[in-house]
């Protein structure tokens, strides 16, 4: 299977080390969410993938071969800082960009018509880009990344500044591209969206990929936690069952930390005796929790002198 | 690929409303100006003005016609019987009566040129009759007189510095300068537009920086060529129509070849140079900081060509500067117009310019590549070179 591999990228701007050995791989058909705080190195990584920037060290390869200019023409790219010719017409511009990527004139025109239709900007084809609203400009920007039928998609914050309808359209398009066998890498600060949409997530922090895995892997924890909810508030038992720790939750229920399923069942039995249980459900950390954990833990490490 | 970029540049520039309007205004100004100036300069070409000649003076008509041709007066002499000697008929320039040897001219206003024609005709008539009376042959005498012109040989430094060639050279380098400045600023604005709109990041993900810059220079070059043609063609038309070429004895063909060759070379040199430098700034507002010194720099070779060449056509400084690539596009056409340049000097200057272009392209491409993704303030040339 085709794989886009990013291996130990290093890049410094003067004294600032923007990337400090970022590595990850995205397989064909996979949606990879790239998250991290501002300045963590997401944009730099994407620019290096596109060859817009040169890495100081490290390599980007596709199917084992280094990504060269010829392949880069088959990548769809949406830069963080949106860029289109403001005074050029939408249709003309998309055809021009498609042709720069090697499409013939008729193929480019057909692709332009298809994508403006799909992204809902078909009626604006003859307008100059600068006359469009920001949201619509963003749709055109995505169209410019898709118009040449790319083999790989690299999108820097494609969702920022979009209304919910546009977010849904954009999500569907990305999902469809991934299902068609295109590896899709995109960065975003909208963590719920990333969690819902992506197959895999990578969190970068200070130029390093600190977490990388499928959503399920990331959310799996060593000790399973359960939330118990009652019809009325119930105080936790004085003694927890063996293998479990019961603590009060904010909403009057309990939080049970159980080493195994048996301990969880024992805790449930105690709960059923204590009051009317309305819900007993596993607690899985959201991506937001994970992200917060990653960021703060790193910061604590920085604070405590080694 | 480069051609695609060039084509886009060419189309957006050439078919922009502003350009179409400016070009048509220029065209109308030059052609219209020539059409309006023509009657003022040549004193009414077109239909010859009729002049009435009474029957008794009819013998003077051949002399009048000869004199009119010699003095470039456009008159048609019409014989009339018993004219009214107190008035000039409508639509005629005047009336000539009396003996052929002492004619009388009746005029509406003070038409000096007609008086001069009649004077010359009368003098010729008198001369002819006197020669005949003395037994000579009037034809032989006129031929002898016609041949009695001096042969002029100018010795000394002054040989090239005539107004005609100075004027011709000046027009060539001024048009060159105008077109170069214009296209250089178009290139710079184009580079900064792509940079400030950030579209350059998408473009650079597909094309090499040098290809992008090259396509830009090529496209704007074609545009500038169209501009130059819309400027030069009416100018040539005006010059031919107003008969400047004949009067100033200018070799039009050589002038145009000169312009063409040095337009291409000068364009390649300056456009590449400016294009690379434009990448150093990120916003249109900052462009002035880069353009102003460059425009001033461009004025130096222009002024040197204008002042140095007429005053010292063969001086050492002139000869050395002719070989400096950025000076050559102005020095060579000017010196060629003066006819004071040796063929080997032209060949050397051409060679040096042609050799400089790839070097400059490489350098400009490097600066461009290093600077074009830099946002924020102005970038230092050295940093751009290092990153490129």
The candidate with the shortest Cα–Cα distance to A146, out of A106, A104, A197, A103, is A103
The candidate with the shortest Cα–Cα distance to A201, out of A117, A102, A285, A269, is A285
Instruction: Say whether B206 and A73 touch across the interface (CB within 8 A).
Output: yes
The pLDDT of residue A108: 94
Mean pLDDT, residues A34-56 taken together: 87
- Give the span between the Cα atoms of B312 and B319, in whole angstroms: 10
Confidence of residue A184 (pLDDT cuts 50, 70, 90): very high
**Which residue did the predictor score with more confidence, B232 or B161?**
B232
Inter-residue contact B251 to B40 (CB < 8 Å):
no
Position B43 pLDDT exceeds 60 = no
Position A305 pLDDT exceeds 50 = no
β A31-36/A184-187 pair status = parallel
The pLDDT of residue B141: 81
- Taking CB atoms within 8 Å and a gap of at least 24, the contacts of B283-292 are B283/B192, B283/B196, B284/B189, B284/B192, B284/B193, B284/B196, B286/B377, B286/B378, B287/B188, B287/B189, B287/B192, B289/B378, B290/B188, B290/B378, B291/B185, B291/B188
The pLDDT of residue A104: 92
Percent of chain B with pLDDT over 90: 0
Position A168 pLDDT exceeds 50 = yes
What average pLDDT does chain B have? 80
The pLDDT of residue B364: 84
The pLDDT of residue A298: 55
- For A3-12, A242-251, B34-43, which range has the lowest pLDDT when averaged over its residues? B34-43
- Identify all chain B residues contacting A51, using CB atoms and an 8 Å cutoff: 204-205
- Identify all chain A residues contacting B376, using CB atoms and an 8 Å cutoff: none
Position B249 pLDDT exceeds 70 = no
Position A109 pLDDT exceeds 90 = yes
- Identify all chain A residues contacting B215, using CB atoms and an 8 Å cutoff: none
C-alpha distances (whole Å) from B263 to each of A201, A292, B92 are 57, 63, 51
Taking an 8 Å Cβ-Cβ cutoff, which residues of chain A contact chain B?
A: 47, 50-53, 69, 72-73, 75, 77, 79, 81-88, 96-97, 99-101, 144
Instruction: Say whether A81 and B12 touch across the interface (CB within 8 A).
Output: no
Instruction: Say whether A72 and B8 touch across the interface (CB within 8 A).
Output: no
Confidence of residue B31 (pLDDT cuts 50, 70, 90): confident
Mean pLDDT, residues B231-245 taken together: 77
**Which residue did the predictor score with more confidence, A238 or B41?**
A238
**Which residue did the predictor score with more confidence, B364 or B157?**
B364
Confidence of residue B388 (pLDDT cuts 50, 70, 90): low
- Identify all chain A residues contacting B199, using CB atoms and an 8 Å cutoff: 83-85
- Identify all chain B residues contacting A86, using CB atoms and an 8 Å cutoff: 193, 197
Mean pLDDT, residues A255-268 taken together: 83
**Which residue did the predictor score with more confidence, B368 or A124?**
A124
- For A142-151, B7-16, B76-85, B237-246, which range has the lowest pLDDT when averaged over its residues? B237-246
Among A51, A86, A97, whose Cβ lies nearest the Cβ of B202? A97
Q: How many CB atoms lie within 10 A of CB B158?
A: 8
Choose, out of A56, A68, A85, the residue to mutate when testing the contact with B (most B CBs < 10 Å): A85
Position A303 pLDDT exceeds 60 = no
The pLDDT of residue B246: 64
Instruction: Say whether B205 and A50 touch across the interface (CB within 8 A).
Output: yes
**Residues A250-276: b if buried by 16+ CB within 10 A, e if exposed:** eeebbbbbbeeeebbebbbebbeebbe
Q: How far is B349 from chain A (nearest CA, A)?
A: 37
Percent of chain B with pLDDT over 70: 91
Percent of chain A with pLDDT over 90: 31
Tokens coding B365 = 């491409």
Confidence of residue A143 (pLDDT cuts 50, 70, 90): very high
Instruction: Say whether B201 and A81 touch across the interface (CB within 8 A).
Output: yes
Instruction: Say whether B4 and A96 touch across the interface (CB within 8 A).
Output: yes
Instruction: Say whether A101 and B206 touch across the interface (CB within 8 A).
Output: yes
Over residues B115-124, the pLDDT tens digits come to 888 888 888 8
- Give the span between the Cα atoms of B81 and B56, in whole angstroms: 9
The DSSP annotation for B341-366 comes to --HHHHHHHHHHHHHHHHHHHHHHHH
Give the full edge-to-edge strand order of the sheet including B49-54. B75-80, B49-54, B94-99, B102-107
Among A52, A85, A88, whose Cβ lies nearest the Cβ of B201? A52
Reduce the DSSP state of residue A169 to 3 states and report it: helix
Confidence of residue A302 (pLDDT cuts 50, 70, 90): very low
Instruction: Say whether B205 and A75 touch across the interface (CB within 8 A).
Output: yes
The pLDDT of residue A53: 82
- For chains A and B, CB pairs below 8 A equal 54
Taking an 8 Å Cβ-Cβ cutoff, which residues of chain B contact chain A?
A: 1, 4-5, 8, 12, 193-194, 197-208, 373, 375
Confidence of residue B245 (pLDDT cuts 50, 70, 90): low
Among A73, A84, A97, whose Cβ lies nearest the Cβ of B197? A84
Mean pLDDT, residues B195-213 taken together: 84
Phi-psi domain of A34 (left: phi exceeds 0; alpha: psi -120 through 50; beta: other): beta
> What is the complex's ipTM, to 2 decimals?
0.75
The pLDDT of residue A284: 77
Over residues B135-189, the pLDDT tens digits come to 888 788 878 877 777 776 656 544 444 666 777 778 878 888 888 888 888 888 8
- Identify all chain B residues contacting A144, using CB atoms and an 8 Å cutoff: 202
The pLDDT of residue B76: 83
- Give the span between the Cα atoms of A93 and A145, in whole angstroms: 12
Instruction: Say whether B197 and A52 touch across the interface (CB within 8 A).
Output: no
What average pLDDT does chain A have? 86
Over residues A45-55, the pLDDT tens digits come to 998 898 888 88
pTM above 0.80? Answer: no
Mean pLDDT, residues B306-311 taken together: 82
Chain B residue with minimum CA distance to A144: B202
Confidence of residue B247 (pLDDT cuts 50, 70, 90): low
Chain A residue with minimum CA distance to B12: A88
The pLDDT of residue A186: 92
Name the residue with tokens 């042969």. Answer: B151
Chain B residue with minimum CA distance to A93: B8
Helical pair A105-118 and A134-146, crossing angle rounded to 10 deg: 140
Chain A residue with minimum CA distance to B195: A83
Torsion of CA B160, B161, B166, B167, to 10 degrees: -110
Residues 6 or more apart in contact with residue B123 via CB below 8 angstroms = none
Position A183 pLDDT exceeds 70 = yes
Residues 6 or more apart in contact with residue B342 via CB below 8 angstroms = none
**Residues A124-161: b if buried by 16+ CB within 10 A, e if exposed:** bbeebbeebeeebbbbbbbbbbbbbbbbbbbbbbbbee
Give the full edge-to-edge strand order of the sheet including A244-248. A244-248, A254-258, A224-230, A277-283
């Amino acid at each position: 299977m085709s794989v886009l591999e990013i291996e130990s990228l290093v890049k410094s701007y003067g004294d600032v080390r923007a990337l400090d050995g970022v590595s990850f791989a995205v397989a064909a058909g996979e949606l990879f969410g790239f998250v991290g705080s501002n300045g963590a190195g997401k944009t730099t990584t994407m620019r290096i993938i596109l060859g817009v920037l040169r890495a100081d060290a490290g390599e980007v390869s596709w199917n084992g071969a280094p990504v060269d200019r010829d392949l880069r023409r088959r990548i769809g790219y949406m830069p963080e800082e949106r860029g289109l010719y403001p005074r050029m017409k939408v249709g003309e511009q998309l055809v021009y960009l498609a042709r720069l990527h090697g499409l013939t004139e008729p193929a480019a025109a057909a692709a332009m018509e298809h994508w403006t239709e799909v992204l809902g900007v078909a009626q604006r084809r003859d307008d100059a880009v600068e006359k469009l609203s920001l949201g619509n400009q963003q749709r055109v920007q995505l169209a410019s990344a898709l118009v040449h039928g790319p083999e790989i998609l690299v999108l820097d914050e494609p969702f920022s500044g979009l209304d919910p309808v546009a977010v849904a359209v954009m999500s569907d398009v990305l999902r469809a591209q991934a299902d068609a066998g295109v590896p899709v890498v995109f960065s975003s600060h909208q963590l719920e969206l990333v969690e819902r949409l992506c197959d895999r997530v990578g969190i970068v922090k200070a130029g390093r990929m600190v977490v990388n895995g499928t959503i399920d892997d990331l959310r799996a924890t060593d000790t399973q936690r359960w939330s118990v909810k009652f019809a009325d508030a119930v105080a936790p038992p004085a003694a927890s069952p063996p293998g479990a720790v019961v603590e009060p939750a904010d909403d009057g229920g309990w939080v049970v930390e159980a080493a195994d399923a048996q301990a969880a069942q024992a805790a449930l039995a105690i709960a059923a005796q204590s009051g009317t249980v309305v819900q007993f459900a596993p607690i899985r950390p959201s991506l937001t929790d994970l992200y917060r954990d990653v960021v703060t833990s790193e910061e604590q490490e920085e604070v405590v002198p080694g | 690929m480069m051609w695609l970029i060039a084509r886009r540049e060419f189309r957006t520039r050439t078919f922009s409303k502003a350009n179409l309007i400016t070009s048509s205004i220029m065209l109308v100004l030059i052609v219209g100006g020539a059409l309006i100036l023509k009657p003022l300069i040549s004193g009414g070409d077109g239909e010859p003005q009729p002049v009435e000649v009474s029957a008794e003076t009819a013998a003077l008509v051949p002399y009048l016609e000869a004199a009119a041709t010699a003095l470039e007066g456009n008159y048609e002499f019409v014989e009339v019987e018993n004219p009214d000697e107190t008035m000039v008929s409508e639509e005629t320039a005047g009336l000539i009566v009396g003996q052929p040897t002492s004619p009388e001219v009746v005029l509406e206003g003070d038409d000096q040129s007609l008086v001069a024609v009649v004077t010359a005709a009368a003098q010729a008539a008198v001369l002819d009759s006197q020669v005949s009376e003395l037994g000579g042959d009037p034809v032989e005498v006129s031929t002898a007189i016609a041949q009695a012109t001096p042969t002029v040989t100018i010795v000394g430094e002054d040989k090239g510095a005539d107004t005609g060639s100075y004027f011709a050279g000046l027009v060539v380098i001024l048009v060159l300068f105008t077109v170069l400045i214009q296209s250089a600023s178009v290139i710079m604005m184009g580079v900064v537009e792509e940079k400030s709109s950030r579209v350059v990041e998408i473009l650079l993900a597909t094309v090499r920086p040098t290809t992008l810059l090259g396509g830009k220079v090529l496209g704007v070059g074609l545009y500038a060529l169209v501009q130059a043609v819309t400027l030069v063609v009416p100018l040539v038309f005006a010059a031919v129509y107003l008969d400047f070429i004949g009067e100033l004895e200018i070799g039009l063909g050589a002038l145009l070849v000169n312009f063409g060759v040095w337009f291409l070379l000068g364009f390649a040199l300056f456009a590449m140079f400016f294009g690379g430098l434009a990448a150093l700034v990120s916003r249109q507002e900052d462009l002035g900081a880069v353009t102003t010194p460059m425009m001033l720099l461009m004025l130096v070779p222009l002024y040197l060509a204008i002042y140095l060449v007429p005053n010292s056509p063969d001086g050492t400084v002139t000869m050395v500067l002719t070989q400096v690539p950025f000076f050559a596009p102005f020095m060579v056409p000017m010196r060629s117009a003066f006819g004071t340049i040796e063929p080997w000097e032209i060949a050397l200057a051409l060679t040096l310019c042609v050799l400089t272009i790839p070097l400059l392209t490489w350098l400009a491409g490097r600066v461009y590549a290093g600077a074009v993704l830099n946002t924020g303030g102005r970038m230092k040339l050295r940093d751009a070179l290092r990153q490129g």
